[in-house]
Amino acid sequence: MTARPAPAASSADAPTVVRSVYVHAPFCARRCVYCDFAVKVRAGGGGRDWLEALGRELEHVRREGLFALDERLATLYVGGGTPSLLEAEAMAGLAALLGPERLSAEEIEWTVEANPESFDAERAAAWRRAGVNRVSLGVQTFDERALRWMGRLHGTRGGPEAVNRARAAGIENLSIDLIFALPAHLGRSWEDDLARALELDVPHVSLYGLGVEPGTALGRAVAAGREPAVDEERYAEEFLLAARTLTAAGYEHYEVSNFAKPGRRARHNAVYWNGAPYLGLGNGAHSYAPPIRRWNVRDWDEYAARSGETPEADREVLDRAALDLERVWLGLRTSEGLDDPAPGTPQALLVEKWVRRGHATRAGGRVRLTPEGWLLLDRLAVDFAG
């Protein structure tokens, strides 16, 4: 993507009205072995500092004039980090900060991420009272040895118990995260994990393939030869097994990493995939006012110190080529796909090759990648936009 300086909005510019907001909650009790996220290790709490910093950033957003919150939000997503480490009433505080009327639409989707060990009955009930109606649980695996290797703090019963606590509080719209392509030496059975996930009967499952980032504990271990690099063959096999297993159980594979029962797709994530505008608050958060994308400083302490002015780290203006590539990449990563290109064009010839190789299907004037094609998403998108 091509980045160049973007002017701040002037008083003559109309702000971009957003109906979707992402809020980053950075605190984690421990950094997982593979984690490269913008997190701050902290035993718990921190809600007051968090809300105060967010309030300062919101005031800066209002003064700057690039974004304006709609009177009614369609989606609100609180991610992390570990939002469930915050005090139980932190979500009520966030609602007050954003404005209760903005969260009052009957159809709003308000998602909060939680780790099983810190998502207790008190938080579940408090979140529901505040208006949270969807919870995403970082289960990752049901295997004890794999959990310990990753640095997770919940045991094998943590995921099921967290699901039960959410349901007891009246939150039925649940998603669980599972991670695949873990090292073979852990002895984790991916088939067993998928079976355990199906037993929970949650409406949404998100999959994440293990990645090795240089600055993480895992990255350092791989560089030193203490851990193997990700096995690409194992990665592909486990992804395809999950796709077969979950779709056979009635889930729609509606995005490369996401599976949902009918009517339970994640609406907030669709904002990103559709290229719609959104506002991100908190350290490391991204915002998008087409064609401007900007992002905040990653470090929590720096963010908290700067959010009264601007916590922005940088921004970019997407040029036409970058917008076209992003449109193709985002379209191909969902089950909606792209418009079938006109016959005889280079793109049409490319799609014919994809179909022959089992990487895509054509139907109803649309081109959609298969799970095998999704494994090659980045390469195929670049070829198509080429």
- Residue 99 CA, distance from chain mean position: 24
User: Given this model, what pLDDT does residue 247 score?
Assistant: 98
Residue 217 contacts residue 264 (beta carbons within 8 Å)? no
Q: Three-class SS string for the chain?
A: CCCCCCCCCCCCCCCEEECEEEEEECEECCCCCCCCCCCEECCCCCHHHHHHHHHHHHHHHHHHCCEEECCCCCEEEEEECCHHHCCCCHHHHHHHHHCHHHHCCCCCEEEEEECHHHCCHHHHHHHHHHCCCEEEEEEECCCHHHHHHHCCCCCCCHHHHHHHHHHHCCCCEEEEEEEECCCHHHCCCHHHHHHHHHHHCCCEEEEEECCCCCCCHHHHHHHCCCCCCCCHHHHHHHHHHHHHHHHHCCCEEEECCEEECCCCCCHHHHHHHCCCCEEEECCCCEEEECCEEEEECCCHHHHHHHCCCCCEEEEEECCHHHHHHHHHHHHHCECCCEECCCCCCHHHHHHHHHHHCCCEEEECCEEEECHHHHCCHHHHHHHHHC
The residue ranges of the chain whose pLDDT is under 50 are 1-12
Q: Single out the residue of 228, 243, 192, 182 nearest to residue 375, CA to CA.
A: 243
Does 124 share its domain with 269? yes
* Among 245, 273, 301, residue at a domain's last position: 273
Cα–Cα distance measured from residue 120 to residue 42, given in angstroms and rounded to the nearest whole number: 18
Which domain, by its residues, includes 31? 16-273
User: Given this model, what pLDDT does residue 6 score?
Assistant: 39
User: Given this model, what pLDDT does residue 81 score?
Assistant: 94
Model-level pTM? 0.94
CATH number at 207 reads 3.80.30.20
User: Given this model, what pLDDT does residue 93 score?
Assistant: 98
Does 63 share its domain with 210? yes
Does 217 share its domain with 152? yes
Residue 340 resides in a domain: yes
User: Given this model, what pLDDT does residue 308 score?
Assistant: 73
Does 217 share its domain with 332? no
Residue 161 resides in a domain: yes
Residue 6 resides in a domain: no
140 Ramachandran zone, left/alpha/beta (phi>0; psi -120 to 50):
left
Total of domains in the chain: 2
Residue 40 contacts residue 300 (beta carbons within 8 Å)? yes
Residue 67 resides in a domain: yes
Residue 303 resides in a domain: no
Count of Cβ atoms closer than 10 Å to residue 212 Cβ:
17
User: Given this model, what pLDDT does residue 306 score?
Assistant: 87
Does 146 share its domain with 268? yes
Does 99 share its domain with 183? yes
User: Given this model, what pLDDT does residue 2 score?
Assistant: 35
User: Given this model, what pLDDT does residue 45 score?
Assistant: 86
Cα–Cα distance measured from residue 3 to residue 258, given in angstroms and rounded to the nearest whole number: 30
Residue 345 resides in a domain: yes
* Among 242, 273, 304, residue at a domain's last position: 273
Residue 308 resides in a domain: no
pLDDT tens digit sequence for 158-213 = 999 999 999 999 999 999 999 999 999 999 999 999 999 999 999 999 999 999 99
Does 140 share its domain with 262? yes
Does 249 share its domain with 116? yes
Does 241 share its domain with 330? no
Does 264 share its domain with 166? yes
Q: Give whole-number Cα distances, 301 to 45, 123, 226, 310, 377, in Å.
A: 15, 26, 32, 14, 36
Q: Single out the residue of 113, 171, 109, 160 nearest to residue 138, CA to CA.
A: 113
Does 386 share its domain with 325? yes
Residue 1 resides in a domain: no
* Among 253, 273, 293, residue at a domain's last position: 273
Q: Single out the residue of 188, 217, 178, 183 nearest to residue 33, CA to CA.
A: 217
Order of strands across the sheet with 338-339? 338-339, 366-369, 360-363
Six-digit token pair at 141? 């695996």
Q: Single out the residue of 135, 88, 138 nearest to residue 116, CA to CA.
A: 138
Omega of the bond leading into 81 within 30 degrees of 0 (cis): yes
Cα–Cα distance measured from residue 210 to residue 222, given in angstroms and rounded to the nearest whole number: 13
Does 256 share its domain with 339? no
CATH number at 331 reads 1.10.10
